[in-house]
Structure 1
Amino acid sequence: MKNLSRLFFVAVLVASFSASNAQDKNNPWAISIGANAVDYYPVGEDTPQGDYFDEYFNVDDHWNILPSLSTISVSRYLSDGFTFTATGSLNKIEKFGSNVDATTGAETTNSVDDLSYYGLDGRVSYSLMEVINSKVIEPYVGVGGGYTWLDDSGAGTLNGTLGFNIWAGEQVGLNLQSTYKHAFENSTRKHFQHSVGITFKFGGTDTDGDGIYDQDDACPEEAGLEIFNGCPDSDNDGIQDSKDDCPNTAGLAEFNGCPDTDGDGVVDKDDNCPTVAGLKTLAGCPDADGDGVADGDDKCPGEAGPAANNGCPWPDTDGDGILDKDDKCPSEAGTAANNGCPEVKPTEEVMKTLNEYARTILFQSGKASFQKSTDQVLQAMTAILKEYPNADFSIEGHTDSQGPASSNQALSERRANAVRDYLISNGIAAERLTSTGFGESNPIANNKTAAGRKENRRVEVKLKN
């Protein structure tokens, strides 16, 4: 009953150690179960004990082994490679060093009655796994203390430990360990305790089950990949969803995860022609004739033309070099000056009629002002000129020879200009008309007769080339 009480006490203390630290790393907890061996011999004492590490591996003569589950440890990772471990163990001591026969010098195992052995120890250990850069073998060193009972006596101990974990996976490993316990009471004696066991790590939380613990998982509630710290890449294009503009369609990093099927530099989601290479300016659609109209909207995709004409060139039906859209006479060849219409020149007959009117213009005597009866003549001339909007005319004034020549010259200029002003004021473009006075220099009849002088006092209209 007494031994069971001690074992129960050990179990309670181990459980209390297991709750002594808060969680702060993936799988921070570990539990180890196994067997232990106690060796009282190689501890630097006189017979029946021996020098330090003397016959350290003499299992048969010195090790006390309880061939059953005899050790249990609970560990809690602290930080930066440090771990706290609480261990409870039991054993039976039957070998306590060795005796040497004084006569023969023969050495025999020093046997004792089955002494009950119980230990409760705590230590802080430091992992050297990163030092040796290994993912499997984890050596560690530790220091701590505890209390050991040997049968009915007990004493505190100062402990030093060297051990190895050999990990078969992320959470399961084989533990090998040797601890030197320096007892502070002779009743317990200093000794070595070796152990071997299986270690199980636990305590990590992986909410989304992606194999990345929540503590290191940037997306703890959404299964993802280790390369993206636990965040998903739904389309497997190497770009995590949170940075992927097209998370459900595999694409390219240069387009933030969006595809460009036709390779034209316009991503499919913005490409109006995603399977045919095209131009960025035309939303990814091609323009075979280079006229700026996408082929799909171009009624003449093989021939350049303006967008206003659906990509087709403007026609020039009459072949006069003026496109139908600008040609007021698209079916009749004309000139640009006449908006595509033919230049209509007044005939000789028309010019004859025009001059018949012009010669009947009557002025006030010696002046450039018109007589009232002349108004109808001028209106008739205006009407004729309007029929030929692209023809230019020269208005010429003439006088008879009576009076000074200089006066006649000036009068002829004023009268020619008066006719021009009238025509302009009645709708004839000024740039189509010029006026010139010739005075008495170009008579058409004899100035010596009244009839001749009358004919010489005239206005003539000439067609300009």
Structure 2
Amino acid sequence: MKHLNKLLVAVMMVMGLASHAQDSNNPWAISFGVNAVDTRTSASPEHVDFFPAHFSQPFAVKDNWNILPSLSYIGVSRYVGSGFSVGLQGSVNKIDKYVRFAPNAPGHDARGMIVENPGDLMYYGIDATIKYSFQELIKSKVIDPSLSVGGGYVFFGDSSYGTVNPGAGITFWFTDAIGLELATKYKWSVSGDREDAAGVPDAPSHFQHTAGLVFKFGGKDTDGDGIYDKDDACPDVAGLKQFNGCPDTDGDGIVDASDACPDVFGLAALNGCPDTDGDGIADKDDACPDVAGLAALRGCPDADGDGIADKDDKCPTVAGPKENGGCPFLDADKDGVLDKDDDCPTVAGPASNRGCPEVTSEALEDLKVQARAIYFNSGKATFKSGDKETPARLDAIKEILKNYPNAKFSIEGHTDSDGSDKLNQKLSEDRAAAVMNALIERGVNVDNLVSKGFGESQPVASNKTPAGKAQNRRTEIKHIGSKYEGKL
């Protein structure tokens, strides 16, 4: 039992100190299984040739191998880069088949070798190893051959001694982290293959074979996408292996970080954005995403080719300038003044009067006659009671004025000399305003009218006769120019 404590110490050292690597993603690995010790190599080269003694019966498991039918080795390892790993392994066995050179003993083979039970000697070993894996070199994900070299210390019965351990192995990986490991190493005794006087082994060289499971661990995968952080271009967000761990939310083959529209399936040519109408302009930049258009118009069509998008064109099928809303300029009355500049688009007039006709002398005379025939109650600004002609005269004046929409007219009130100047001035102003308001009520533009009162200051007849006074009590309408004067 005292040697069992040595194995426990070795195992603790393995668990606490050992390192042996498998790859850079999962740098740590732990392995365990069964081991077999073959002492055929203890036959001294002084008695027989080296190679026949060591390799004449390499797979004589039943005859030469010492195997415990239970877990008998454990190892821990760490990857150090470029295919190399270092590790530590502890093992235990029981020697009940010891091969030695005894040509005079009964039962020896042709080379003088005999297998004996030395008394069920306990075997303990601890070994440090440097291993090189050929897996990356052969580019295999399953088969992992390797060579190793190292040294160790063996407790063999009551003796102990150091060894130098060249070896080889192969691992078959079932997954990225779980595999079946088969290995062998020749543990050459640095003390020589000694036996005591009775032929009991003291420090024999031997083969030790192992078979067991290996588990890799220690890799970090923060986002849980199965791609280790060291190989994950997006370690904090789950992604896809083909994109080095970065996500492609919309599944368009463009990683979200490079996708201008990461939530909508799109085209690589448009940085992952869709183009519903197929005009080469991404929907997000297309003012008309459902109908093909021009890049110059932000993806909108221009049916008439006037440079104005159909949606903004008042005449989408007829070319026209932008300043006219995309419509061609018209001159309906053929007066040389375009309708857009013509205050009277249906009546011809000179450009000097903004396309409206000039006020004729005949119209002015007609206004004079009609205005002077409007009568008021004596001393008041109300139209004369019972005069049925006044409304008709006001209508006639309206019809004349509407022919001159840009002309400005002055409605002037006058009185006779009866009464005070102050009273007459106020009365003339009120009568002029009464006529102006009556015309506005009939639809005449207020901007075309002004009203003034002149009292008794501008008589047209003598105030010494009743007939003359009647002529002086009047209203007149005069043309005073254009309402656009100073603005043309």
Q: TM-score normalised to the size of structure 2?
A: 0.64
Residue 12 (structure 2) aligns with: 12
Residue 309 (structure 1) aligns with: 324
Tell me if structure 2 keeps the 8 A contact 1:42–1:56: no
Quick check: 1:239 aligned with 2:254? yes
CA pair 105-194 structure 1, distance change in 2 beyond 3 A: closer
Residue 441 (structure 2) aligns with: none
Residue 154 (structure 1) aligns with: 160
- Report Cα offsets for 1:10-64 as digits up to 9, x if no partner: 112212323x699993211111111011111146635699523221111121111
Tell me if structure 1 keeps the 8 A contact 2:21–2:28: no
Tell me if structure 1 keeps the 8 A contact 2:293–2:302: yes
| 2-structure distance, mates of 1:125, 1:21 | 8
| 1-structure distance, mates of 2:23, 2:74 | 23
- Secondary structure of the structure 2 residue equivalent to 1:11: helix
Tell me if structure 2 keeps the 8 A contact 1:149–1:188: no
Residue 31 (structure 1) aligns with: 30
Q: What is the deviation of 1:294?
A: 1.4
- Report Cα offsets for 1:69-112 as digits up to 9, x if no partner: 11111111111111012111111111112655678975653332
Identity of aligned residues (%): 54
| 1-structure distance, mates of 2:278, 2:188 | 76
Tell me if structure 1 keeps the 8 A contact 2:43–2:99: no
CA pair 105-115 structure 1, distance change in 2 beyond 3 A: closer
Tell me if structure 2 keeps the 8 A contact 1:42–1:55: no
Q: Which amino acid counterpart does residue 62 of structure 2 have in structure 1?
A: D
Q: Which amino acid counterpart does residue 31 of structure 1 have in structure 2?
A: I
Tell me if structure 2 keeps the 8 A contact 1:163–1:178: yes
CA pair 195-21 structure 1, distance change in 2 beyond 3 A: closer
Tell me if structure 2 keeps the 8 A contact 1:125–1:141: yes
Tell me how many residue pairs correspond in the alignment: 342
Q: What is the deviation of 1:321?
A: 7.0
Q: What is the deviation of 1:318?
A: 3.0
- Secondary structure of the structure 2 residue equivalent to 1:131: helix
Moved more, 234-243 or 127-136: 234-243
For residues 309-458 of structure 1, the aligned pairs below 5 Å read 309-319=324-334, 323-325=338-340, 330-331=345-346
Q: Which amino acid counterpart does residue 221 of structure 1 have in structure 2?
A: D
User: Which residue of 291, 314, 317 maps to 2:306?
Assistant: 291
| 2-structure distance, mates of 1:278, 1:13 | 75
Residue 264 (structure 1) aligns with: 279
Structure 1 vs Structure 2 CA RMSD? 3.0
Q: Which amino acid counterpart does residue 59 of structure 1 have in structure 2?
A: V
| 2-structure distance, mates of 1:328, 1:273 | 37
CA pair 241-82 structure 1, distance change in 2 beyond 3 A: same
| 2-structure distance, mates of 1:188, 1:315 | 119
Residue 118 (structure 2) aligns with: 112
Q: What is the deviation of 1:153?
A: 0.5
Residue 370 (structure 2) aligns with: none
| 2-structure distance, mates of 1:162, 1:297 | 81
User: Which residue of 69, 83, 86 maps to 2:85?
Assistant: 83
User: Which residue of 92, 95, 105 maps to 1:93?
Assistant: 95
| 2-structure distance, mates of 1:114, 1:130 | 43
Residue 52 (structure 1) aligns with: 54
Residue 122 (structure 1) aligns with: 128
CA pair 27-51 structure 1, distance change in 2 beyond 3 A: same
Tell me if structure 1 keeps the 8 A contact 2:23–2:83: no
| 2-structure distance, mates of 1:33, 1:328 | 104
Residue 179 (structure 2) aligns with: 173
| 2-structure distance, mates of 1:304, 1:89 | 95
Tell me if structure 1 keeps the 8 A contact 2:42–2:99: no
| 1-structure distance, mates of 2:23, 2:75 | 20
Q: Which amino acid counterpart does residue 211 of structure 1 have in structure 2?
A: G
Tell me if structure 1 keeps the 8 A contact 2:34–2:69: yes
Residue 74 (structure 2) aligns with: 72
Q: TM-score normalised to the size of structure 1?
A: 0.67
| 2-structure distance, mates of 1:197, 1:166 | 11
CA pair 24-102 structure 1, distance change in 2 beyond 3 A: closer
| 1-structure distance, mates of 2:257, 2:99 | 68
Q: Which amino acid counterpart does residue 37 of structure 1 have in structure 2?
A: A
Tell me if structure 1 keeps the 8 A contact 2:21–2:29: no
Tell me if structure 1 keeps the 8 A contact 2:173–2:179: yes
Quick check: 1:2 aligned with 2:2? yes
- Secondary structure of the structure 2 residue equivalent to 1:325: helix
- Runs (5+) with no aligned partner, structure 1: 343-465
